[in-house]
Amino acid sequence: MVARRLSTDSLRTVCVVLGLGMLPGTVLAQNPGPLSAIDWLQTRGGVEMPGAYPITPPVASSVGGSTGISVRALDALRPEAVGLYPAARVGLPAALWGTTPARALSDLIADLPADMLPSLRELSLRLLLAEFNAPLPGTEPSPVPDFLLTRIDKLIEFGALDQAAAVLDTLDSDAPVLRLRRFDIGLLLGDEHTACQPVLREEPPVGDAAALIFCMARAGQWQEASALLDAAAEENRVAPYLAELLQHFLDGDETLPGASTLLPPPPGTPDPLTWRLREAVGDGLPTLGLPVSYAHADLRGTQGWRAQIEAAERLVRAGALSPNRLLGLYTERRAAASGGIWERVRVVQRLDTALRNADAAATSAALIEAWPQIQAGELEVPMASLYAQPLGQIGLTGEARAIAYRIGLLSEAYETVALGLPAGADAEERFLAAVARGLDPAQAGAMPGELAAAVTQAFGPEPPLPDGMAERLAEGRLGEEMLRILMQLGGPGDPRVLAEGLGGLRALGLEDIARRTALESLLLERRG
């Protein structure tokens, strides 16, 4: 019997046996695939990183907040089990990974798309950051578990650098590849002092000559660093381009003498050390064309206001920065130019001022003007977290009320917003309210489009389920099933996949995530 034919009651029994249960409204957070869309994770400057996990080059495009991180004692846990908070905090069992081998879980995590709907990205981060029992080990022993390294690299790809750093700092591993990951994260965050601490640890040697040369120079060991560079370059332990950058860095060059004296940079994304050295010698790269993890560097205060806003928008879209940080940049000063991002800055400032003044008329006009700009920046959910509550309290009417209603449905208070739907709401608003309340939307209203039809199926009396779901759950592969659903829902907008994925989330008791994903699919008009 295939899974889609099984009733939700059948899956309820399986979930209870696994210890998950059916908890409506609870907030939860096999082919080798690409480990990351950041190609430097395998090599540094064209030289294979010693001890690095082999990474397949990317085949697809890449992409919450850093506050509230807490650290727990590791006790006698295996490294793969390290996390920032217990599984119970997000309502999941510690034995989430069950009988799925670590290698299979690594492949699924590697395939998670970085550009996904905010609710799905939130669940992904919870699975990557919570402390679950270590998965079943592979048949071949490894000094660095693939599962742990894959988690770290996916966090880097998501732009969640503070969280990745916290995981590594909690573990405090001697493994060279993990120490080098911590080095890279420190460089991306602009914290070279912290970045170099794991590199300069002598035992065991980190095994990366370029990183060691950079950190020795920063520690004032200039002669030792220069001697090591000469030896490493002669032995081809440092790629020629990186060796020349290091030489300019050691010589104290503030600017490069000229393009003719420097080798052409290798193609692809530069590793963090190459990127940082280019900046140090006056040949820096703008972060706008680089993976989102590089955008953190523009928030150091060394860049102009526009570059900081662009970086903050990227990081907020990725769920790696608090929306309040972006609002602080938006309202820092008066925009001096017009068009593009400056228009978004201006209209958000007007909206923020009108709301603080509790001026309903000004708020209505500002919201109607600001919402298209917010949509153009794909910032609807972050702005909803900031403004949904005050917009719902100010008493808007007409077009502004309709916009505010949709903003409210994109916030964490979506169910409360739906319960406050006015009596004169149209069929589409009633449809959305039913989804927000977990009811059958076909009985409440109507909404056009294939995605709406898929949501209707998922919230109807017989929601479809992914093929093989019941069998995988019966075998104790709960975490694997969650990762499969996340991977499928994070892909292109296929109505069938959406219906089955939402049905699967609801069957697993991830009702909050299912409702928010459905609302985001309908209101954001995009898949990520």
Q: What is the pLDDT of residues 268-302, one digit of tens each?
A: 889 999 999 998 888 888 898 899 999 999 998 77
Instruction: Give the CA angle between residues 77, 83, 192 to the nearest 5°.
Output: 110
What pairs with residue 43 in β-bridges?
48
Query: Burial, 197: exposed, middle or buried (Cβ in 10 Å; 0-12, 13-18, 19+)?
Result: middle
Q: In residues, how long is the chain?
A: 528
User: How far is residue 370's CA from residue 384's CA, in Å, rounded to a whole number?
Assistant: 12
pLDDT at 326 over 60: yes
What is the arithmetic mean of pLDDT over 382-399?
A: 94
474 or 14: whose pLDDT is higher?
A: 474
User: How far is residue 308's CA from residue 248's CA, in Å, rounded to a whole number?
Assistant: 28
What is the arithmetic mean of pLDDT over 485-495?
A: 87
DSSP-derived pairing of the beta strands 85-86 and 130-131: parallel
pLDDT at 331: 94
**pLDDT tens digits along 398-436:** 999 999 999 999 999 999 999 999 888 999 999 999 999
Indicate the helix (H) or strand (E) that contains 342. helix 341-356
Closest among 478, 525, 520 to 11, alpha carbons compared: 478
pLDDT at 15: 52
Q: Classify each residue of 181-192 as buried b or exposed e, where b means 16 or more C-beta atoms within 10 Å of its C-beta.
A: bbbbbbbbbbbe
What pairs with residue 86 in β-bridges?
131
pLDDT at 69 over 50: no
DSSP-derived pairing of the beta strands 130-131 and 47-48: unpaired
pLDDT at 65: 38
pLDDT at 134: 92
Residue type, 435: V
What is the arithmetic mean of pLDDT over 353-370?
A: 96
pLDDT at 489 over 80: yes
User: How far is residue 440's CA from residue 114's CA, in Å, rounded to a whole number?
Assistant: 31
User: How far is residue 173's CA from residue 171's CA, in Å, rounded to a whole number?
Assistant: 5
Q: What is the mean pLDDT of the chain?
A: 84
The 3-state DSSP class for residue 477 equals coil
Indicate the helix (H) or strand (E) that contains 382. helix 380-393
pLDDT at 70 over 70: no
Alpha helices in 61-145 (DSSP H): 102-110, 118-129
pLDDT at 77: 60
Q: Classify each residue of 253-278 as buried b or exposed e, where b means 16 or more C-beta atoms within 10 Å of its C-beta.
A: eeeeeeeeebeeebeebbbbbbbbbb
pLDDT at 40 over 90: no
User: How far is residue 148's CA from residue 309's CA, in Å, rounded to a whole number?
Assistant: 33
Helices 272-280 and 209-218 pack at an angle, to 10 degrees, of: 40
**pLDDT tens digits along 161-187:** 999 999 999 999 899 999 999 999 999
Of the listed ranges 283-287, 321-325, 469-473, the least confidently predicted one is 283-287
pLDDT at 304: 87
Residue type, 194: T
What is the arithmetic mean of pLDDT over 310-338?
A: 92
pLDDT at 286: 86
Percent of the chain with pLDDT over 70: 81
pLDDT at 94 over 90: yes
Which residue, chain included where needed, has tokens 């917009």? 391
pLDDT band at 259 (very low <50, low <70, confident <90, very high): very low
pLDDT at 303: 81
pLDDT at 338: 76
pLDDT at 262: 66
What is the arithmetic mean of pLDDT over 380-400?
A: 95
Residue type, 117: L
Side-chain-side CA neighbours of 303 within 13 Å: the count stands at 22
Contact between residue 128 and residue 161 where contact means Cβ atoms under 8 Å apart: no
Query: Burial, 496: exposed, middle or buried (Cβ in 10 Å; 0-12, 13-18, 19+)?
Result: exposed
pLDDT at 479: 97
What is the arithmetic mean of pLDDT over 11-39?
A: 42
Contact between residue 505 and residue 517 where contact means Cβ atoms under 8 Å apart: yes
User: How far is residue 351's CA from residue 365's CA, in Å, rounded to a whole number?
Assistant: 8
What pairs with residue 131 in β-bridges?
86
pLDDT band at 43 (very low <50, low <70, confident <90, very high): low
Task: Please give the torsion angle defined by the CA atoms of residues 332, 334, 340 and 345, in that order, rounded to the nearest 10 degrees.
Answer: 50
pLDDT at 13 over 90: no
Domain boundaries, the chain: 24-280
**pTM for this predicted structure:** 0.84
For 199, 228, 239, the CA distances from 179, given in Å and listed in that order, are: 7, 20, 20
Side-chain-side CA neighbours of 513 within 13 Å: the count stands at 32
**Backbone dihedral region for residue 86 (phi beyond 0: left; psi -120 to 50: alpha; all else: beta):** beta
pLDDT at 328: 95
Would you tell me how many other CB atoms lie within 10 Å of the CB of residue 306? 17
pLDDT at 28 over 80: no
Which of 301-310, 391-400, 477-486 reaches the highest mean pLDDT?
A: 477-486
Contact between residue 49 and residue 177 where contact means Cβ atoms under 8 Å apart: yes
The two three-digit tokens of residue 262, written as one number: 């420097």
For 328, 357, 368, 401, the CA distances from 350, given in Å and listed in that order, are: 14, 11, 11, 17
88 or 337: whose pLDDT is higher?
A: 88
Closest among 334, 366, 66, 160 to 387, alpha carbons compared: 366
For 136, 218, 309, 405, 411, the CA distances from 389, given in Å and listed in that order, are: 45, 48, 24, 10, 9
pLDDT band at 62 (very low <50, low <70, confident <90, very high): very low
111 or 79: whose pLDDT is higher?
A: 111
What is the arithmetic mean of pLDDT over 477-494?
A: 91
pLDDT at 285: 86
